[in-house]
Structure 1
């Protein structure tokens, strides 16, 4: 009966280990999912910042071009 008791103890220990491993896998998966979601959120923010910056650069280029054109029109034509 001693061997059977040890086998039962081992079986219980194995079940507990399996349950613990399953819980660890679930925790890891949840952390990976959260990390992927955070990466997606950050990617969207970076994309938005880039679009905003491109818009500002375009506006600055347009303003600069307008200023240059105005300045050229004001300068007397030299022969």
Structure 2
């Protein structure tokens, strides 16, 4: 993923398009993550961690981080930088 992307439009589980603002991109242990905020979460200053992975066609997709250890690792790096 390019480092200069400012916005992403993703589909939620209901198929609704949601616009996100990219706060930063992080590279941690050969994995890529983006920290984003949606219009709804901006008011609460809540950020969302998404992992960038490749699907079977080699296309980049964004996935939520389910593993607690991985999430904490990304959160620690983010908090150290910001």
Tell me the TM-score normalized by structure 1. 0.20
Q: Which has the higher contact order (CA 8 A, sep 6+)?
A: 2
Q: Which has the higher strand share?
A: 2
- Which protein is bigger by CA-based radius of gyration? 1
